[in-house]
Structure formats: C-alpha cells, structure tokens
Amino acid sequence: MTGRSNSTNHIRLRPAAVTALIAINAFWGLSSASAKTALGYVGPFTLTLCRFLPAGIILLVLARKQIPLLAMGAKDFAKLMLLASVGITLTYTLYFTGLGRTNSTDASLLFACEPILLSVAATFFLSEKLNMIQWLGLLIGVFGIWIIAGRAEGNWLALLGLACECCTGVIAKELVSRYPPLALLGAEMIIGALVSVPGALAECSASTHLVLTPLALLNIVYLSLICSALCYGVWYKLMNSTPLSQMSAFILVQPLLGPFYGHFLHGDIVTITVVEGAVFVMLGILLTQVNALRRDERTPELVEQNNK
C-alpha cells in the first residue's frame, strides 16, 4: 500500500463500475416486491435462511482457490460473526418482518434513506467530519425518513433493519481490505443463515399450512441467486477499490424503480405524503453528498484501503 496526497484521494469511477452499480441496484429494486410475495408463504427467518444459505455456498465454491479465512485471527473472526449475525440475520429478519406489515413500495422507498444512514454510521464509527451543510442535510434527510415511515410499525421495523445493515457496512469495508471479497461474503452469508435456523424451525413448526408454490420458489431463487449471490458479490468486489460514499449514491436507483415494481406486481399506490418524504430525503442526500464528491473527506483508513 502506498499513501497519496489528499488531492489525489478521490477516485473517479470507471464506466464499467458505474454500469455494474446501476444494474445491481436495479435488481435490488425488485427485491422488496419479490420478498413481499415470498412472505405470503414463509416467515422472515425462513426467508432469510432460504435466501442466504444457497447464495453463500455458491460464493464459497466460486472462491475456493482464495480462502485464507481459515487463518483468520480471533479479532477478525469476531468481526465476521458480528457482521453475519447483525448484517444478515438481524438486518433481514427485521426488514422482512417489517415488509410483511407494510407494502413493498413503502419498503423500497426506505432504501432512499440508506445514504443518509451510511453518513450517520460513518460519522459515529469512522469519525468522519461533516460541515454545517452536511449536518443540515442529515437533519433534512432524517425528517424525510420520519415522513415516509409515518406511524406504520412495519416501516419502522424495515428501517431499523436497514440501519443495522448500514452500521455493519463499516465492518465489511474493513474486512474486505484484508480478505478475498467473495470468500468473505460467502462466509458471512452462511453464518448469517445458520444463525437464523432456530427462528426458521420455530416458524415452520408453528405453521400448519406451509406450502412452497412455484411462485414462492421463483421469488426465493431470484432473491438468493440474483439479489444475494450476484448483486452482493459485485458490490463486495467494488467495495475493495471504491469509496463507500460514492457507491451509496447509486442506492437511489432502488427507490426510483421500487414503486413501479410494487405497483405492477402488487397494485401498490404511492401516497402524496410518501412522495413529500422522499423529496426531503433526496434533498438531504444531495446536501450530505455534494461536498463528499467535490473533495474527499474520507478517513485515512479508507484512503489507505482504496490506494492498495
């Protein structure tokens, strides 16, 4: 690794990376509508298990020639366990539980909040410095989040799940600089899926009419192979060489496409209140990201990782 001056720390995204980020977020935009359909047949823990266990196995098979995880130290292994149990199990059981109590359109619009949540996580866990304009953007964005979530319990549970994922993104960014991305991601998914097994068993034993229809299986396969193995695999590969703040801006593709998916697949209707909240969130993101894109304010740790 070599250090560079602050004037050259900003990384210009290659066209291939931009295309990949747009594509995977377009696929992720359909995930809420797809998961909403699957939740009509299985519970949140079961869906988490079915989504991430096959994807994790596939990723480990693909990374079989580059798995130094067995030599992982106790400190990094503890971080991996935290990343898996919070970033996979807790994140998605909360998100799927909330999704089951709201509509897929509201849930997909909440993904617009992730850049705001990532900024908050970077502020507290990476000690990134924000100026007054960026703090104003955070406050405006949080106000927009409050409007979107409203009084719906499901929206708040889904938002809490997204917040968990954003917090663990800091851990993932650190570990992916030391371990092969696909191997790390595969291990994270398998561990996270296994942690969800007790909850899945409880759901299956409590259900008296558990039937996996072809429609349910189709949506689970989409969530596992496309949204998890493919999209997360590409995301982790890019995360090793791309600033997280730049990548997070592409998450906005999800709330742009999500309402269309929700409308055509579930007949969801976007209310004026939700649109108003989305406007505040977008304004908040603009204020928090504009300076980050104009001049790099990342921490030395992230700079060093991106200059490998």
Dist. CA 166–CA 28, nearest whole Å: 16
pLDDT of amino acid 226: 95
* Residue 116 vs residue 90, higher pLDDT: 90
Is pLDDT of 237 > 80? Answer: yes
**Residue 112 within any structural domain of the chain:** yes
250 HSE (CA, 13 A, CB side): 22
Residue 96 located in a structural domain: yes
- Digit-coded pLDDT (tens) for 60-78: 888 876 656 666 788 888 9
Question: If pLDDT is split at 50, 70 and 90, which confidence band does 227 have?
Answer: very high
Residue 132 is assigned to a structural domain of this protein:
yes
* 88 in any annotated domain: yes
Domain, as residue range, for 77:
12-306
pLDDT one-digit tens code per residue, 155-178: 788 888 888 887 787 788 788 878
Q: Are 102 and 108 in contact (CB under 8 A)?
A: no
Q: Could you count the other beta carbons within 10 Å of the beta carbon of residue 142?
A: 17
Which of 170-179 are b and which e, b meaning 16 or more Cβ less than 10 Å from the residue's Cβ?
bbbbbbbbeb
**For residues 88 and 196, what is the distance between their CA atoms, to the nearest angstrom?**
9
Residue 299 to residue 308: CA distance in whole angstroms: 15
Number of domains forming the structure of the chain? 1
Entry pTM = 0.75
Let me know if residue 43 belongs to a domain.
yes
Residues 6+ apart with CB under 8 A from 274: 105, 106, 109, 147, 148
- The two three-digit tokens of residue 79, written as one number: 């971080």
Lowest-pLDDT range of 36-40, 87-91, 245-249, 293-297 = 293-297
For residue 80, tell me if it sits in a domain.
yes
Q: What percentage of the chain has pLDDT greater than the value 90?
A: 23
Among 24-33, 97-106, 184-193, 212-221, the least confident range: 97-106
